[in-house]
Amino acid sequence: MNEQDFFDLMSGMSERQIGEAAEWKYKHPAEQDSSSEINAILSQNPLLNPLADTKKTEPHSAAETEAVPQTPPVQSKPQSRFIRHSAVGVAAVAAAFALAIGGLAWKLRSDNPEVSDMTPGISITSTSEAVTSAPAGESLSAAESSTTAPAIGETLPAAVDPDAYSIDQTVTEPDMLTQADDSVQAGEPNFLGGTGSLRTIVNEDFYTILEDDMFWYFNGTMRISKAQRDEHGVAVSELLCQNAGCAHNDPETCLVARCSNANLFGTGDKIFQMSQTVEHNADQFTFSRLFSDGSEHDMCAFMIDRDENDVGSYTYYRSAAVIPELNAVFAELEQCRTLENGSTQSQPIQAVMRLSDNGISFLQLELNLPRERMFGVPVMQSDPESGLIWFLTDSSIMHEKNYGYYYHAKIVTVDPKTGEVVTRLENADILDWFVADGKLYYLEPDDQKLASRICCFDPDNGSESASGNLVSFSCCEGTVYGVKLVSVGKDSIIRFPLGTDLSAAETVTETNNLLASVAEVTDPNRILYLSDSGVAYLHIDGQGDIQLP
């Protein structure tokens, strides 16, 4: 072993372990804080000055440096929540303005087809990770009658222990997921002040963007009109709550307080909400569907089991994705326990909750989902053909010069009915992936040249692959749409029939954006396209020409 081998070997440590080491002294207040030393060093470095806020990063005087506490201040929970909510609010506003520009440009281009360049400066993240795109209310009969694909490779038994969690099953409504009709029809007012049903268009950890016929709504705090402009031609924006003197802290009377605390998320046509993560006064932690008239329907709640001294346990949702075509919800949860000695324990849990006539089934899974998730690359895919959910697990994010980042990962399937976890692929290098017709398609970096391979894994017939040079792809109605890397900063979008044969590929258009990717194709004529310049829907007519909205 030489020194380089040593460095390479140690580079394989997981992000979680590295993060734990980095944060160690902040998680253990007894340790000393030496960050004041580095502040003194780096505050003199001019390189950071252009980015630094001079009001807050000017070099500390000796007195100021000494005043820095040697142990990190322990914030009270309410204070932490306040800061977090404030940050979220500000992030939402930033996202709001960013998307508003895009929205306006989109609208303007719709009205003015001659405008054909992409909108610069928009920066929002993909919705594909947590949002499923299957049509609502789709019949479940196919999924119900299908059989599980034969297991290849390791089979991991799922730990099914419903007794470990206090689930209030009495609040579930089995038909809720398949109910497609909303309570508000077109033209009718919804509870956020616009008209028509509310739809989710962006669903991320820090913000949610909804829309109706009149507005875009940002994290439930503000809205921007789709039609109104001020004297400068800028879209009119306003806070959701217009009550004079409102402190925006009472969910009963203030929309801002209600929505910003609700953790809204959705599937496009339906909106869900889960309770705020740590609210000690709450009676229960609930996952519920939210209708456009503001009514809620609880779907699954975890009961708190703690005494007056907070000793006990509770569970909360960290994220959830509804899979209507499988009548299931995939949830990432956190189970927290407080022991009598005051120490706390926290354990991440993944589970599939499946709704049926008999109520809700809760299946805990043993998945090692990636902590760090990449832009535009899904972690979960559902497959109505086989009735399985595919997950990208056990991953680390790798880097290769030509491709940027990709996953070194394992792909498993989960049967939502039994919780059976089956390993399909191990040690796979994955730039992007999707599941279609019961087969896994993924892009694998080619170490030897500036190209990637498109690979197909068929659980019945094994794998096949072919050369290509795609950096991302997506499938819709039997056609694959991909971004083909021509050279640095130059891409083309191609499409070809589902499979690994690119000989019949046709070029849809050429672009000159960095970090371009096809995020989602839900309509053969509409591609959600992401790049360093922003996000845009590309419209393709039957001849292959392209119109940028």
Partner 1 sequence: MQILEDSEIIALFRQRSQDAISAAQHKYGALCINMAANLTGSRQDAEECLNDALLRLWDSIPPNMPESLGGYLMTVCRRLALDCRKSKMREKRGSGQAELAFEELAGCIASPDQPEAQFDQRALQSAISAFLDQQPAEARVMFLLRYWSCLSVQEVADECGAGVSKVKMTLLRTRNKLKEHLEQEGYL
Residues sharing a CB contact under 8 Å with residue 543, sequence separation 6 or more, in sequence order:
none
In this structure, what token pair is assigned to residue 325? 């075509």
DSSP 3-state of 159: coil
Is 56 a binder of partner 1 (CB under 8 A)?
A: yes
Is 339 a binder of partner 1 (CB under 8 A)?
A: no
Q: Of 282, 362, 355, 339, which Cα lies nearest the Cα of 316?
A: 282
Question: What's the number of CA atoms in the CB half-sphere (13 Å) around residue 128?
Answer: 27
Is 342 a binder of partner 1 (CB under 8 A)?
A: no
| Residues within window 200-229 making contact with partner 1, judged by CB under 8 A | 204-206
| Residues within window 348-387 making contact with partner 1, judged by CB under 8 A | 371-376
DSSP classification of residue 9 = H
Q: Which is nearer to partner 1, 303 or 369 (CB)?
A: 369
Is 282 a binder of partner 1 (CB under 8 A)?
A: no
Residue with token string 């509870």: 191
- Work out which of 59, 90, 242, 466 binds partner 1, going by CB under 8 A: 90
Is 488 a binder of partner 1 (CB under 8 A)?
A: no
Is 347 a binder of partner 1 (CB under 8 A)?
A: no
Residue with token string 């997981």: 14
Is the backbone of residue 427 left (phi > 0), alpha (psi -120 to 50) or beta? left
Instruction: Report the nearest approach of partner 1 to the CB of residue 308 (Å).
Output: 28
Q: Which is nearer to partner 1, 149 or 264 (CB)?
A: 264
Q: Which is nearer to partner 1, 34 or 249 (CB)?
A: 34
Instruction: Report the nearest approach of partner 1 to the CB of residue 18 (Å).
Output: 4
Residue with token string 């405008």: 115
Query: In whole angstroms, how large is the CA radius of gyration of the chain?
Result: 25
Q: Which is nearer to partner 1, 8 or 175 (CB)?
A: 8
Q: What is the 3-state secondary structure (H, E, C) of 165-188?
A: CCEEHHHCCCCCCCCCCCCCCCCC
| Residues within window 166-195 making contact with partner 1, judged by CB under 8 A | none
Is 514 a binder of partner 1 (CB under 8 A)?
A: no
- What are the backbone dihedrals phi and psi of residue 441, each rounded to the nearest 5 degrees, phi first? -110, 130
72-80, 221-229, 484-492, 537-545 -> range binding partner 1 (CB under 8 A) = 72-80
Q: Which is nearer to partner 1, 102 or 384 (CB)?
A: 102
- Work out which of 59, 66, 77, 87 binds partner 1, going by CB under 8 A: 87
Instruction: Report the nearest approach of partner 1 to the CB of residue 446 (Å).
Output: 18
Is 19 a binder of partner 1 (CB under 8 A)?
A: yes
Instruction: Report the nearest approach of partner 1 to the CB of residue 89 (Å).
Output: 9
Instruction: Report the nearest approach of partner 1 to the CB of residue 374 (Å).
Output: 7
Instruction: Report the nearest approach of partner 1 to the CB of residue 378 (Å).
Output: 14
DSSP 3-state of 25: helix
Q: Using an 8 Å Cβ cutoff, are 412 and 154 in contact? A: no
Instruction: Report the nearest approach of partner 1 to the CB of residue 2 (Å).
Output: 9
Residue with token string 């932490």: 80
Q: How many CB atoms sit inside 10 A of residue 449's CB?
A: 9
Q: Which is nearer to partner 1, 26 or 497 (CB)?
A: 26
Residues in the chain: 549
- Work out which of 1, 62, 63, 488 binds partner 1, going by CB under 8 A: 1
Is 72 a binder of partner 1 (CB under 8 A)?
A: yes
**Counting beta carbons within 10 angstroms of the beta carbon of residue 6, is it exposed (0 to 12), middle (13 to 18) or buried (19 or more)?**
exposed
Q: Using an 8 Å Cβ cutoff, are 106 and 537 in contact? A: yes
Q: How many CB atoms sit inside 10 A of residue 13's CB?
A: 11
- Work out which of 77, 83, 280, 400 binds partner 1, going by CB under 8 A: 83
Is 28 a binder of partner 1 (CB under 8 A)?
A: yes
Is 17 a binder of partner 1 (CB under 8 A)?
A: yes
d(CA 114, CA 24): 56
Is 447 a binder of partner 1 (CB under 8 A)?
A: no
